[in-house]
Copies of this chain bind each other. A is one copy, B any other.
Amino acid sequence: MKITIKDIANIVGVSTTTVSQILNNKGQRFSEETRQKVLKAVEEYDYSPDYFAKNMVQRESKTVGMIVPDVTDLFFSKVIEGIETYLNKKDYMLLLCNSKHSAEMEKKFIKQLQNRSVAGIILASPNSLALEKRMKQFPYILIDRGLNTREQGNILVREYEGYYAAVEYLIDAGHKKIGILTNERGYYEMTDRHKAYYNCLTNHGITYQESYVEDGPVTIEGGYQAATRLLERADEITALCCGNDQMAIGAYRAAFERGLSIPEDLSIFGFDNLEITAYLSPPLTTVAQPAFDIGYTAAEFLLHAIKFPQEAIPNKMFETQFILRDSVKVFDR
């Protein structure tokens, strides 16, 4: 039997009003003596107000929902860490949902979360969303890399510039036959990265070749498969731009299997700067984006939006950083 506010009131010999007011710090008007008595009883019986009863009157669930495509993804788990860290500071908690990339599950989760009266939702989604009526008037933040255009609450990363710089580094290092592993089709689109690749080559007088482009899921396995196909087809390339670090890790293996050593025979760079990339052999050159901060900021913006529903949610653009390690060969000239 859980102890209730009534029990405490009876024990101390006051009304529930008194207990409630004191516990909610609206107790200035009570004598220090009753205050102490109440506090003591609360302590002694380890009383805390029932979450559901409290919420029914106050409507403040202090809970936010988070939907991710894959909890085990190295990038997203870092985002989650950032979110949790901010929420924790603010006494909010996180209801975590794993959509397994499915738009249908996302929908189901949104509904379920709203049924549970979460105060807001952070949705990391690879899908173009017909943002249903459900989300109208409801605080949410999208982490979708700009897939769904909107006016506010965009949390983005200057991917184009970051990727461009990396490709340019390759070219400056003397590479001319440069492949790319990307994901162009809707899902996890890498439009910006691909565009950066295209423009950078063109700006440096290198002809863009369709046959140097290979497509695949943005996972380790996807990178492995894509790199394998690409190297099969175009083994003259000396460098490979990867859509992200996980693809780069897969590409390492593809190179390894073909007996290609990195960077001697093949140069590679990634995108994300996952912790693990510093430990690869050789350490991976990559472009850092602040996954933790993205999560942290998303949580910050969301809580603000919950508190001030009438204000517009700001946009935020994160910078990237080129991380030079040892996976790119520099040709003598």
* Pair B80/A93 contact, Cβ less than 8 Å: no
A48 within 8 A of B: yes
Beta-carbon contact of B51 and A116 below 8 Å: yes
- Specify how many copies of this chain sit in the oligomer: 2
Cβ contact within 8 Å between A256 and B276: no
Looking at the complex, which of A37-45, A155-163, A247-255, A312-320 is the stretch in contact with chain B?
A247-255
Helix, strand, loop or mixed for chain A's interface? helix
Q: Which residue of B lies closest to A49 (CB)?
A: B115
Question: Of B81, B250, B255, which is within 8 A of A72 by CB?
Answer: B81
Task: Determine how close the nearest CB of chain B comes to the CB of A160; give it in whole angstroms.
Answer: 27
Check: A207 CB closer than 8 A to any chain B CB: no
Of residues 99 to 142 in A, which have CB atoms within 8 Å of B's CB atoms? 112-113, 115-117
C-alpha gap A53/B93 in the complex (Å): 20
Number of A residues, CB within 8 Å of B:
47
The answer to whether A253 and B279 have CB atoms under 8 Å apart is yes
**Chain B's nearest CB lies how many Å from the CB of A321?**
20
A94 interface hit (Cβ, 8 Å): yes
- Chain A residues within 8 Å of B, Cβ to Cβ: 48, 50-53, 55-56, 61, 63, 70-72, 74, 77-78, 80-81, 84-85, 88, 93-98, 112-113, 115-117, 220, 224, 249-250, 252-253, 255-256, 275-276, 278-283
- 4 tightest A-B contacts by CB? A256-B281, A52-B55, A96-B96, A253-B279
